[in-house]
Amino acid sequence: MLEAKGLGYRVGERWLLRGVDLNLAPGDFLAVLGPNGSGKTTLLRLLSGELSPTEGEVRLLGKPLEAYGAQGLAQKRAVLSQGREMSFPFTAYEVAFLGRLPHIAGREGPEDHARTWQALEKARAAPLAERFFLSLSGGEAMRVEVARLLAQEGEVLFLDEPTNHLDPRYALELLGLFRAMAHEGRGVVAVLHDLNLAALFADRVLVLKGGKPVAQGGPETVLEPSLLEEVYEVPFRKVGSLGRIPLLLPVPQGVLRGT
């Protein structure tokens, strides 16, 4: 479904990312982890076709990304970015409807509007439909952006910190929604900062540091305190588990209450 080999990206003399290999099969949920500046967003932009790699190749559904035109690529994959600039007074419904544009030849039809409403319902954003997008809170705007992503109906979904601005309830609901979409046969690649959410929802995790892959595999094997301490440069402790899924907590020395 999605394959990257020897992927690297350089700006001037500085490599922002180098040496990344990955394969994403239908039904896979891959979480990309790492500290700030480790190359997570750069990787997502390369995989989605927003950036062209300095070296290596990305193939989507068996074809190089450059073989797709802009509309063809938009029909096959959908991207949820960290932030979108919106200077027009669009309603939330109109923003969600933007996801249908790659599929419209000429004028939109009733099916496009029906799919938009379905997407808003799935994202729990239907009550926001008539409000101006710029008036929404960060969490409300994120739910509308998720509706846009769902309306686009991509086979591979790229998510850059999708739980930003969301309270725990909506974060769990949102990742559960994407987990269910993976079960339906889509591929999901999500940049996450919360290690425990990654462990709960992802089939595999890719850990980056300094633009290079450090580890890749199942969360139950990769998310070990010793590796996390090396990557994040702070001690970690395994505080429990849910079945085979580890629950982890950063534990800086000397700053805890009662110490």
Query: How confident is the model over 119-165, as pLDDT tens digits?
Result: 999 988 999 999 998 899 888 888 899 899 999 988 999 999 988 87
Mean pLDDT of 101-111: 86
Residue 147 covered by a domain: yes
Establish if 221 belongs to a structural domain: no
Structural Rg of the chain based on CA atoms: 19
Q: How far apart are CA 100 and CA 120, in angstroms?
A: 13
3-state SS of 151-163 is HHCCCEEEEECCC
Least confident of 5-9, 86-90, 92-96, 192-196: 86-90
Count CB atoms within 10 A of the CB of residue 117: 16
Domain enclosing residue 146, as ranges: 76-154
In a domain, 175, yes or no: no
Across residues 103-112, what is the average pLDDT? Answer: 86
Q: Is residue 234 part of a domain?
A: no
Which pLDDT tens digit goes with each residue over 17-40?
999 999 999 999 999 999 998 999
71 found inside a domain: no
Q: Which helix (H) or strand (E) holds 120?
A: helix 110-122
Tokens (6 digits) for 256: 């805890």
pLDDT band at 84 (very low <50, low <70, confident <90, very high): low
List of residues 6+ apart from 198 with CB closer than 8 A: 31, 33, 190, 192, 205, 219, 223
Instruction: Say if 123 falls within a structural domain.
Output: yes
Are 147 and 123 spatial neighbours (Cβ–Cβ below 8 Å)? yes
In Å, what is the CA distance from 150 to each residue of 18, 49, 54, 83, 183?
31, 19, 31, 17, 15
Which tokens hold the place of 88? 């027009």
Give domain status of residue 193, yes or no: no
Give the pLDDT confidence score for residue 243 in this predicted structure.
80
Overall number of domains in the chain: 1
* pTM across the whole model: 0.89
CA distance 61 to 65: 9
Q: How far is 154 from 148, CA to CA, in rounded Å?
A: 11
Dist CA 17 CA 9 (whole Å): 5
In angstroms, the first-to-last Cα distance of the chain is: 50
Say how far apart CA 43 and CA 37 lie, in whole Å: 11
Q: How many residues does the chain have?
A: 259
Q: Is 127 a domain residue?
A: yes
